[in-house]
Amino acid sequence: MLPLLIAHPFFPSRFLGQSGLQYPLSSSCLVGLSRICFSTFEKGCKNRVIQFKMNTIMVRNFEILTKNEIIQARAQLKSWFISNQRPLPWRDSPDPYATWLCEIIMQQTRIDQGTRYWQSFIAKWPSFESLATADSEEIMKTWQGLGYYSRARNLHKAAKIVANDWRGDLPTSAKSWQQLPGVGPYTSAAIASICFGDPSAAIDGNALRVLSRWAGIHEPIDKPTGRKPIEKLAGEFLDISDPGMHNQAVMELGALLCTPKAPNCEHCPLNENCKSRVEMVGQTPIAPVKAGKIKVRRVALTFHVIVNENKVLMRQRPSQGIWGGLWEFPSCWIDSESDDLEKNQLPPLNNRQGLHETGPIVEPFEHILSHRKLKVTFQSWRSNAAFHEKDMKWFRWEDARKLPIPRAIEKNWEELENSMPKQQFS
């Protein structure tokens, strides 16, 4: 059958041309045309533009949501959230300290893992004031295993600012909360909206996914062309009568139903007007795309366990970079693509008098960081003298274990201790 040639007032001008040229369609494409007129032809396009006119959300001049539909969607989302939200401990009361602590800990962290850390911090330091006076190494030790250790350092700095500079007088706007280290647009909006009713849309990864799918925005979300339309949509959709609950509802929807790989569209409260669902009938709505991913690098990492009598040599890593501020055994990193990553950070051990290699300990293993895959080995050494190097210090073995150390060492500590030649501790 020959393709039909039709003209339709809903077709974007780039399909019709200057003179309203007709666009070839097969007859099957005409089914449901009035319902998905713009979606069929916008599918896969990379240049949608969100516009807001007369209380209506538009995509490239085509109406997708009226004011009444927006109000209805807010109500449906709120109702779903009230019935389905997870019983998370920080939701019991909108306490600014508990909410701030939660938002910092949950960055790049699974909810089950983050909850345990949140509970540990709350138990040890229940307020900004108590956290401000805490020992920095105890904070790092409590944070150990969460990764992205700059968050822990910023946590301590921020608590000191609140306790000493603000004297507990907390701001109510998202913009003011961004004065604290480690608090960006999302975190500040979450705190201010949940705790103080500030009408700011909180846009995390879950919200990005929900809103981009809902409006059918397929631009890379890490580029302004994709991010700005989503931010506009989030602001328009925000329920200013209860912004805190609304923000939590959008994020909860992304966490429970609108998941990256297996969204449960059937039970989604926004499924009626979800443009991605309309476009992908019978398929999984696409997830937000990014312009490019950072390549995972393979790195060979050797820890040198150097023992003098009953003490072990530890090195404190620089405050910036991987495992910033944590203690480790002196290490050597060799990048598979750039073998000078940290190649020169360790003194030439073989040339040091009185230092003897005693062999490898612990089976080599892989340890995954965000953008690096580490092949980790431990090498043991015996030293006849307690020599000194910059950023290094000798500790009794039992004291070294109390230091904030990387997870790659901590999870192998007992095996390391049992594998070390016994004469090294005599």
206 is written with which tokens? 């879950």
Q: Which of 103, 219, 279, 328 is catalytic?
A: 103
Q: How far apart are CA 240 and CA 43, in angstroms?
A: 32
State the first-to-last Cα distance of the chain, in angstroms, to the nearest integer: 90
Secondary structure (3-state) at 55: coil
Instruction: Name 205's Cβ contacts closer than 8 Å, sequence gap at least 6.
Output: 254
Q: How far apart are CA 184 and CA 178, in angstroms?
A: 6
In contact, 236 and 176? CB cutoff 8 Å: no
Helices (H), 106-242: 111-124, 128-132, 136-143, 150-160, 174-177, 185-196, 205-215, 224-237
Instruction: Name 326's Cβ contacts closer than 8 Å, sequence gap at least 6.
Output: 140, 144, 149, 316, 317, 403, 404, 405, 406
Q: How far apart are CA 170 and CA 185, in angstroms?
A: 17
Q: Beta partners for 380? A: 305, 359
In contact, 417 and 342? CB cutoff 8 Å: no
Q: How far is CA 184 from the centre of its chain?
A: 12
Helix, strand, coil share of the chain (percent; to 5): 40, 15, 40
Structure-derived torsion over alpha carbons of residues 210, 214, 215, 219, reported in degrees to the nearest 10? 50
Q: How far apart are CA 417 and CA 60, in angstroms?
A: 65
User: Has 103 been annotated as catalytic?
Assistant: yes
Residue 238's nearest CA partner among 275, 210, 271, 261 is 210
Identify the residue whose tokens are 């203690």.
327
In contact, 276 and 268? CB cutoff 8 Å: no
Secondary structure (3-state) at 37: helix
112 is written with which tokens? 């089950």
In contact, 332 and 406? CB cutoff 8 Å: no
Active-site residue list: 103
